[in-house]
Amino acid sequence: MSHHIPEVVSWCLAVALVAVAVLLVRQRGITAAVRRRVAALEDSLQSRDTEVRHLVTVRLPAVTASMHQPVPLPGLLDERLGGTVFAQGLQAVMDTFTQAVDKAQARADQSAKAALKASMRALQGLAHEQQLAISDMQERHDNPDVLRDLLQIDHANSQFGRRAQAIAVLCGSWPGRQRAASPLTDVVRGATSRIRDYRRVKVHNHADVAVVSRAVEPVVLAVAELLDNAARHSQPNTTVEVGLQPVHNGACVVIDDAGVGMNAQEVQRAAALLSGQRTVDVSRLGDPPQFGFPVIGVLAARYGFSVSVDTRSPYGGVRAVLFLPSALLSQIDLDGPDTTPLAPPSREGGP
């Protein structure tokens, strides 16, 4: 029986070797799986670290930058993280930061507008006092040279008052003057007298309509800003052409300049400002600040007229069109200085 012992030992060794081999294969598989899992975790951790850096260095600064110029905000770098709790946490940080920036910006804008509004009221008061003093001097002096100098001072003071008035309006104030209903031609002439290059403005025709009392000063201010913008953005030796055009449901003031025009992006930005639908942040009006279009937009939204600058002028520059609806117009009474309400256009008749 002893001769069977080596055979039994051999079988035992074989079984042991097989068991060891199975264990080794299984252990190798487990080790490989663990290594893959560790690699996946390291990759995920690295990806999340990268996302956090991207949040701090790109996404959050983009929120601040978008306050000055609206642009799409960047998202996640690794789309595999989309929908995860980690991604939701990052978005929560973005939302909280955005709300904080909005609140801080709103507080800063309110403070700036309050300070400007108070300052402009004081300046308007000073301009009015100076205007009274100039008028008094014009009545007391008859020397042509003195009167000529007083007229120049008066014109400079009117420009100063218009600028203070415009900034005050942008900060939430009212125009501050109540006038009687005035012919549209006189409104345009009044606006022309408030700009520096008034000699370059040529009004070609007349319109037999008047602007109602409550809208006279706002329209004067809006037209003055359009004329000033047209004159400043065109050559000094060119003219600014103005036409008054009655239309089916109101009247238009058409202003053409021979300036450099605007590109598509500038036209789009101007349309947004002139619509008056967007809150204007006085800290984002450029350096130096450009108050013209924002002021016109505020007045247009408040009083019910509209302004567009999306058409090219026949002279190569910009055509600005201020449209006054019938509600802001009245008929001129040819028998006296008063005006009568402008009847709404009939639907049966033509323009």
- Quick: pLDDT tens for 40-71: 666 767 777 777 787 778 777 777 776 666 66
Q: Residue 53: what residue type?
A: R
Residue 339 is predicted with a pLDDT of 45
340 strand-pairing partners = 331
CATH of the domain at 292: 3.30.565.10
Residue 204 forms part of a structural domain: yes
Per-residue pLDDT band for 74 (boundaries 50, 70, 90) equals confident
User: In what order do the strands lie in the sheet containing 250-256?
Assistant: 201-203, 240-247, 250-256, 318-325, 306-312
Residue partners of 58: CB distance under 8 A and separation at least 6: 74
Residue 300 forms part of a structural domain: yes
DSSP 170-193: HTT---------EEHHHHHHHHHT
Per-residue pLDDT band for 326 (boundaries 50, 70, 90) equals very high
DSSP 243-276: EEEEETTEEEEEEE--S----HHHHHHHHHHHH-
pLDDT one-digit tens code per residue, 76-110: 776 777 777 777 887 888 888 888 877 877 777 77
Unique residue bearing structure tokens 């996640």: 76
Residue 329 forms part of a structural domain: yes
**DSSP H helices in the chain:** 5-54, 60-66, 85-140, 144-170, 184-192, 213-232, 264-275, 292-303
What is the average per-residue pLDDT within 320-329? 93
Residue 170 forms part of a structural domain: no
Q: What are phi and psi of 255, to 5 degrees?
A: -120, 120
Residue 76 forms part of a structural domain: no
Q: Sign (positive/negative) of CA torsion 14, 15, 21, 25?
A: positive
Residue 130 forms part of a structural domain: no
Q: Which residue has the higher pLDDT, 311 or 123?
A: 311
Domain range for 227 is 180-341
Q: How many domains does the chain have?
A: 1
**3 state DSSP class of 202:** strand
Per-residue pLDDT band for 324 (boundaries 50, 70, 90) equals very high
Residue 258 forms part of a structural domain: yes
Whole-number Å distance between alpha carbons of 36 and 28:
12
209-211 vs 329-332, strand pairing mode = antiparallel
Average pLDDT, the chain: 79
pLDDT one-digit tens code per residue, 269-288: 888 888 877 777 666 666 67
Residue 281 forms part of a structural domain: yes
